[in-house]
Amino acid sequence: MIFGGPQSANDRENDEAPGIRTELDFIPKILESETPYLGICLGAQILAKVLGANVGPHPDGCIEAGYYEVEPTPEGAQYLDRSMMFYQWHREGFELPPGATLLARGELFANQAFRYGCNAYGLQFHPEVLEPNIRRWSSRGTERLKAPGARPPQTHLDGFRKYDPDVDHWIRGFVSTIFDRVSTSIQVEAAD
């Protein structure tokens, strides 16, 4: 798993973000070995970049910070059975990589979740964050919250209290589903 962070998937040559270069170089090995991979926010953007997709800011300078609706695509219905509100905190998004399957979309940043092959998944949103994270981000990131598209700071914690039970239930089921798929894939290969 690779989680989010303030860096960019485009920081390969940025000496202040040497971990990005390492992750960009390591993900092809993960994909080749068919090891399960889950990228969240920056982790999804890095996966998309490795797979040949463009990663960058919204063309209108918008960001997502706060809760936003994410809806499943027909292909994603087995992972997300209805539209849900998820916490977001990013200024960059990604194009759908060649060969990937779009699982969920959003209004402001269209590509919200994708699968590549059977074992690699990218989520633009943050189902893993807890109240202390949201409290810290929304209180320390006040400049970011002035950007177009950002939700007002007071709505972040209110949203957590309202949506987290559903998100918590979803992420537990999602992780179980993807590991079941991986386990089945490995068992099929072993039988061959």
Residue 36 DSSP class = -
Q: Which residue among the candidates 41, 64, 90, 92 is catalytic per the annotation? A: 41
Check pLDDT > 90 for residue 89: yes
CATH fold for domain 18-167: Rossmann fold (3.40.50)
Q: Is residue 41 among the annotated active site residues?
A: yes
Query: What would the mean pLDDT of 156-160 be, rounded to a whole number?
Result: 97
For 15-29, 32-46, 104-118, which range has the lowest pLDDT when averaged over its residues? 15-29
pLDDT value, residue 38? 95
Check pLDDT > 80 for residue 16: no
pLDDT value, residue 188? 47
pLDDT > 70: percent of the chain: 94
Query: What would the mean pLDDT of 10-31 be, rounded to a whole number?
Result: 85
Check pLDDT > 70 for residue 192: no
Burial 38-52 (b: 16+ CB within 10 A, else e): bbbbbbbbbbbbbbe
What is the rounded CA–CA span in Å between residue 39 and residue 41? 7
170 — pLDDT class (breaks 50, 70, 90): very high
Q: Which residue among the candidates 34, 71, 95, 128 is catalytic per the annotation? A: 128
Check pLDDT > 70 for residue 23: yes
Parse the chain into domains and list their residue ranges. Answer: 18-167
And the tokens for 48?
Answer: 């998309």
Q: Which residue among the candidates 90, 92, 126, 156 is catalytic per the annotation? A: 126
Long-range CB contact pairs, 134-143, < 8 A, 24+: 134/87, 134/160, 137/65, 137/89, 138/65, 138/66, 141/65, 141/89
For 8-22, 29-43, 127-141, which range has the lowest pLDDT when averaged over its residues? 8-22
pTM score of the predicted model = 0.90
C-beta separation of 65 from 30 below 8 A: no
Average pLDDT, the chain: 91
pLDDT value, residue 185? 52
Residue labelled with tokens 């990589």: 97
Q: Is residue 126 among the annotated active site residues?
A: yes
The residues pairing with 93 across neighbouring beta strands, listed in sequence order, are: 56
Q: Is residue 156 among the annotated active site residues?
A: no
What is the rounded CA–CA span in Å between residue 37 and residue 30? 7
For the segment 102-120, what is each residue's pLDDT rounded down to a tens digit? Answer: 999 999 999 999 999 989 9
- Radius of gyration over every alpha carbon of the chain, rounded to an integer in angstroms: 16
What is the rounded CA–CA span in Å between residue 183 and residue 161? 34
